[in-house]
Structure 1
Amino acid sequence: MGSWRDLGRIQKLAIAMERLSALVAGFLLLINVGDIVLGILFRYVMKSSIIWTEEVARYSLVWLVMLGAAGAQAKGDHMSIDFLTPRFPRWLKKLSYVVRIGVQAVVLVLLIWLGSKNVAGTWTMKTMALGIPKAIPLMAVPIGISMLLVQLLLQELHRRSDGGDKP
């Protein structure tokens, strides 16, 4: 890979999104671990319990996973089972690739739409311990899935602009 200047706009945007995803996921991991350690210290050392630590741990983990998914997409770290497709003839490999990308995009768009509908209906509900709108933790789904979809589309655009014919 050449210098940053030599990269195309699409590739730069994909790299920036991956870095943002990793940075935010790393920050959320620190919050999650710190919150769990705080809860353990208070429970077992101070013999007292902080009620909101469980919610913070759960919600930070959900946000971490949803926002980290775009970074995993960029690195190709999502699970795949590919014992069958390498045995396909070239035309069937291409067809299966197109079908896979199409199904993936449709499912992601559907998740964004359903997640957004879910968020819209929960602004008046509050979480038990933190007392924040339930929409805030639930926003992780449409935001994280949107980032995942954008990353998928950027990868596909980059593959096509690179002259990548093979899936």
Structure 2
Amino acid sequence: MSSLRSRVLAISRPLSLTLAASLLLINLTAILYGVFMRYFAGGAPIWTDELSRFLIIGTVMIAAGAVWVEGGHMRVALIERLLPASLTRLLNVYQWLLTLGLALGGAWVSYRYANSVSMFTTSGLGISRTIPMMSLPIGFALLAWHALWYGPAPLRVATDEAAS
């Protein structure tokens, strides 16, 4: 992997994971607040469940690209191990192009959808539905960003981590 690509990924991966971890921490706080209010104060506000749902979706979407680059996502790499080197290289290019295409397509479609629901508000938070829905195009765009900079190189597998 080239030096520029390595540096870009070395900066963007931790930023994505830090943002996702921050959203997860806010989610945990909202859930604990809701539990405390429900069982100790007599009634939880409705917005805690809705906020939690939006935050968990945002967390997953924002972390997806960084996790894809690390090879931490769930996948089966059996075919890559059985194919000859030339076909494995072709499969890696195919996987990379497929990931880029799906991520860019997902970003475009979800961006259009998020903007189309701007006139509606959420039931618990009372904000425009566009705000929480923007985590989808942002997450897909980050996935495309990370995949683009990673390139058509072989994806890491769990055995790579154990061997090194």
Return the TM-score normalized by structure 1: 0.86
CA deviation after TM superposition for structure 1 residue 8, in Å: 2.6
Given that residues 32 and 56 in structure 1 are in contact (C-alpha distance below 8 angstroms), is that contact kept between their aligned partners in structure 2? yes
After superposition, the Cα gap between the structure-2 partners of 1:74 and 1:84, relative to the gap in structure 1 and judged at 3 Å, is closer
Show the counterpart of 1:35: 30
Structure 2 unaligned spans of 5+: 155-164
Q: Which amino acid aligns with 2:38?
A: R
Q: Which amino acid aligns with 2:102?
A: V
Alignment of 1:125-140 (within 5 A): 125-140=120-135
Which residue of 11, 15, 18 maps to 1:20? 15
Q: Percent identity?
A: 26
Show the counterpart of 2:110: 115
In the alignment, the residues of structure 2 paired with residue 43 and residue 34 of structure 1 have an alpha-carbon distance, to the nearest angstrom, of 14
Which residue of 48, 57, 62 maps to 2:52? 57
Q: CA RMSD in A?
A: 1.7
Query: 1:83 aligned to 2:54?
Result: no
Show the counterpart of 1:165: none
In the alignment, the residues of structure 2 paired with residue 103 and residue 152 of structure 1 have an alpha-carbon distance, to the nearest angstrom, of 10
Given that residues 66 and 141 in structure 1 are in contact (C-alpha distance below 8 angstroms), is that contact kept between their aligned partners in structure 2? yes
Given that residues 17 and 70 in structure 1 are in contact (C-alpha distance below 8 angstroms), is that contact kept between their aligned partners in structure 2? no
Structure 1 unaligned spans of 5+: 1-6, 160-167
In the alignment, the residues of structure 1 paired with residue 75 and residue 134 of structure 2 have an alpha-carbon distance, to the nearest angstrom, of 27
After superposition, the Cα gap between the structure-2 partners of 1:157 and 1:84, relative to the gap in structure 1 and judged at 3 Å, is closer
Cα deviation per residue 1:86-134 (whole Å; 9 max; x = unaligned)?
1111221112111111111111111011101101101111000111110
CA deviation after TM superposition for structure 1 residue 69, in Å: 0.9
Given that residues 18 and 71 in structure 1 are in contact (C-alpha distance below 8 angstroms), is that contact kept between their aligned partners in structure 2? yes
Q: Which amino acid aligns with 1:56?
A: L
Alignment of 1:137-156 (within 5 A): 137-156=132-151
